[in-house]
Amino acid sequence: MAESLGVQRVIWRFAFVGVATLIAFVQLLPLGSGSGGLPGPDLIALLAIAWVLRRPDFVPIGLIAVVMLVADFLFMRPPGLWAAIVVLGTEFLRVREQGLRDLPFLVEWGLVAGVLLAMTLGEALARLAFMVDQPSLGLTLIHLILTILAYPVVVGVTAFAFGLRRAAPGEVDDMGRRL
């Protein structure tokens, strides 16, 4: 069982990178009719959050940091800023993952919404402190709202398309620790 769980972790880590790469590829495609459209949700950050809350052992902190840093470069954001903020947000949620297992999804969604709001405010404050160009407040709020509204969709796809669910109460990791 321990060997299969270790192999399973590696497979899920590759799946996480693959799905994040697919999301980035689709978002970079020139499908729009031009500039000036609405910002879409941050699906890669939502994917990391959803997977951390489902199976935190499948997405380690380093993997999230690397994926988000590459996304920063691809989407021409300040390098490392959003990656660091997402790492802090996912680690905040990782610590609380066991306590959220038995709570309804709406509570989880509310906590994720609060964390996304804090992450957005943290990014805005960091951009202000380092005098980096700020996106407009309206676009930032639309982006935040769309990201919060997209969370149930990402969780649904994660659960139904990929079959990634929370750890069972008696499931153990390679070291015999409960998940």
Q: Is residue 107 included in any domain, yes or no?
A: yes
Is the separation of the CB atoms in 97 and 53 below 8 Å? yes
In degrees rounded to 5, what are phi and psi of residue 38? -75, 145
Give the pLDDT of residue 47: 95
CA torsion, points 66, 67, 72, 74, in degrees to nearest 10?
A: 120
Nearest-angstrom CA–CA distance, 58 and 74: 24
Is the separation of the CB atoms in 3 and 175 below 8 Å? no
Q: Is residue 33 included in any domain, yes or no?
A: no
Q: Is residue 140 included in any domain, yes or no?
A: yes
Instruction: Give the pLDDT means over successive 10-residue stretches in the chain (179 positions).
Output: 70 91 90 70 95 90 96 93 96 89 90 96 92 87 95 93 76 55
What spatial distance separates the first Cα and last Cα of the chain, rounded to whole Å?
Answer: 14
Q: Is residue 98 included in any domain, yes or no?
A: yes
Four-residue CA torsion sign, 61, 67, 71, 73: positive
Give the pLDDT of residue 115: 97
Q: Is residue 118 included in any domain, yes or no?
A: yes
For the full predicted model, state whether its pTM sits above 0.85.
yes
Count the domains in the chain. Answer: 1
Q: Is residue 170 included in any domain, yes or no?
A: no
Four-residue CA torsion sign, 33, 38, 39, 43: negative
Q: Is residue 15 included in any domain, yes or no?
A: yes
Give the pLDDT of residue 39: 82
The residue range of the domain holding 91 is 2-24+38-161
56: DSSP letter: G
Q: Is residue 115 included in any domain, yes or no?
A: yes
